[in-house]
Amino acid sequence: MKLRPASIDDAQLLFDWRNEPLTRAMSVNTEPVAWDDHVKWLSTRLARPEPGLYICEDDGIPCGMVRIDNDEISYTVDTGFRGKGLATKMLILARHQFGSKRAKVKRSNEASAKAATKAGHTVEYI
């Protein structure tokens, strides 16, 4: 498993993950994202000196995303990889590369809070 920097070639993948119903339900902003808005956001994000946006790959297959914003970490796991402990592994990998971060998690998202805690990050409930 590895984290690689996201690129504009990942636009569709990131768009699909962001608009997946459970991901939306557990996000701070639960509204669907329009394609044009997503591409604009991604282009702006990738233009930063430190974009902080990574694709997690397991045996070369994209399985999740990690976003680092200062001391905060956000993440999602592809629906086909959920329930297999991947979030914890992905978050441990992120902690090793970027240090311990703060994960904002909805109280109803016990699995995410558990994964972040097990990986050594701090959970802040929203």
pTM of full prediction above 0.85: yes
120: containing domain: 2-125
How far, in Å, CA of 106 to CA of 123, rounded? 10
CB neighbour list of residue 75: distance below 8 Å, 6 or more residues apart = 64, 65, 66, 67, 87, 90, 91, 94, 103
Secondary structure (DSSP) of 68-93: EETTEEEEEE-GGGTTTTHHHHHHHH
Position 28 scores a pLDDT of 85
CATH code where residue 51 lies: 3.40.630.30
How far, in Å, CA of 64 to CA of 55, rounded? 6
Position 20 scores a pLDDT of 96
Q: What domain count does the chain have? A: 1
Digits of tens for pLDDT over the chain (126 positions)?
A: 999 999 999 999 999 999 999 999 998 889 999 999 999 999 999 999 999 999 999 999 999 999 999 999 999 999 999 999 999 999 999 999 999 999 999 999 999 999 999 999 999 999
Backbone angles phi, psi at 47, to 5 degrees: -80, -10
DSSP lists the bridge partners of residue 64 as 56, 77
